[in-house]
Chains A and B, each alone.
Chain A
């Protein structure tokens, strides 16, 4: 163990805020005086910050592919997949159409002029590009040509990360929002569950999900990167420039061990 126990720096996807905090409490049982710096942002924003020189000891993101795209091999050796999730449509119980919305008619409810629905920013947050992927898959699954464009042209709000969207929903600033099931469980929001063909939860449908593609700005100005639809997988890693590698590993051992699994499950994630 390194002698400098003053600070463990953790940077994580907003959607992981609650389980990460609960795992820190377990670490504090062993190191009560440990100082923890906790920061969160959209996963792509987190990875870009590390690539631009931010020093952290643990980085936990909502998509392992963000590690591959931005951080591996220069800033991180390997990421570890520790949880899965699914996309859902969360809503405010007083939203227009909230009493009749279901897995078959949700798009018609959203495209009503009185409804405010939101997604997170696909350039910063995996939940954002997963929403766009879900809309593309929904167009095929429901046999509704032009649905993707209709949904993309009519959203009312765009948030940097899914947790901001969930908070806006909780506060009644928007009516509907595309988020992870775990976030709706943590915030006790109502939600519509999508069929597995579009909710990005099932590895058996990986080939089907891969039909959808989203283009985002790449790692260098002027370059574009293509994101392909895939099952949702959260991953964690220790950056090469961490000053607290052993302590960071202890934290990851908690997150991925039996105690962490209970915390993840309680917060609506599926430990894997």
Chain B
């Protein structure tokens, strides 16, 4: 029985190592190796995909985007300065464009719209997120199976 458990533990550890390696490679590809279509927004903390998704839903200005921004991790506060910097970065890289928009009562603010390149980046982000989602599901399922197997062997 102990041999079986050791075997399962080795498989589990090996799986974790492979998973972490894949994550690292994926992260490197996302940040460093942009595809020819330049669809390469960073998925770090989901800030850029979330902003792109909000702009895809409705052209918005930074003030509004900050108000509607829900961080992936609810315990983490994404500073307004971080959001404004990401907007400027995505604009300089061609994923969004801005123009001055005057509201009825307020001042003119820079309003952002998504570009074709931005839509492509969003689509690529979704593919990567689907892949990550599958990896996470596999991880959870493997762990649950191992846990149940361990319980059964202890009985």
A residues touching B (Cβ–Cβ < 8 Å)? 64, 67-68, 78-81, 84, 196, 201-204, 206, 231, 233, 235, 256, 258, 261, 270-272
Contact = CB atoms under 8 A, between A and B. Distances in A.
B109 interface: yes
Contacts of A79: 107-108
A204 B107 contact: no
Given A67-B107, A78-B107, A81-B108, A203 B63 contact: yes
B103 to A, nearest CB: 10
B48 to A, nearest CB: 17
B149 interface: no
B15 interface: no
Given A201-B80, A204-B80, A271-B84, 18 more contacts: A64-B106, A67-B107, A68-B105, A68-B106, A79-B107, A80-B100, A81-B107, A81-B110, A84-B84, A196-B77, A202-B66, A203-B66, A204-B66, A231-B80, A233-B107, A256-B110, A261-B88, A270-B80
> Which of B81, B92, B106 is the most central at the interface, judged by chain A CB atoms within 10 Å of its CB?
B81
A224 to B, nearest CB: 21
Given A84-B80, A270-B81, A203 B110 contact: no
22 contacts: A64-B106, A64-B107, A68-B105, A68-B107, A78-B107, A81-B107, A81-B110, A196-B77, A201-B80, A202-B79, A203-B63, A203-B64, A203-B67, A204-B66, A206-B67, A231-B80, A233-B107, A235-B107, A271-B84, A271-B88, A272-B84, A272-B109
A29 B84 CA distance: 28
A263 to B, nearest CB: 13
Interface size class of B (residues with CB under 8 A): 20 to 34
A73 to B, nearest CB: 12
B107 A272 contact: no
B102 interface: yes
Contacts of A270: 80-81, 84-85
Contacts of B81: 84, 270
Nearest 3 pairs of A and B residues by beta carbon: A64-B107, A79-B107, A203-B66
Contacts of A235: 107
A86 to B, nearest CB: 9
Contacts of B69: 204
A81 B109 contact: yes
Interface in B20-34: none
Interface of A, secondary structure class, is: mixed
A96 B85 CA distance: 37
Nearest to A85: B81
A49 B77 CA distance: 41
A80 B108 contact: yes
Interface string B73-116: 00001011100110010001000000010100111111000000
Interface in B23-71: 62-64, 66-67, 69
A143 to B, nearest CB: 21
A234 to B, nearest CB: 10
Nearest to B105: A68
A68 B102 CA distance: 13
Contacts of B84: 84, 270-272
A184 to B, nearest CB: 15
Nearest to A72: B107
A272 B62 contact: yes
B26 to A, nearest CB: 30
B108 to A, nearest CB: 5
A124 to B, nearest CB: 21
B106 to A, nearest CB: 7
Contacts of B110: 81, 256, 272
Nearest to A237: B107
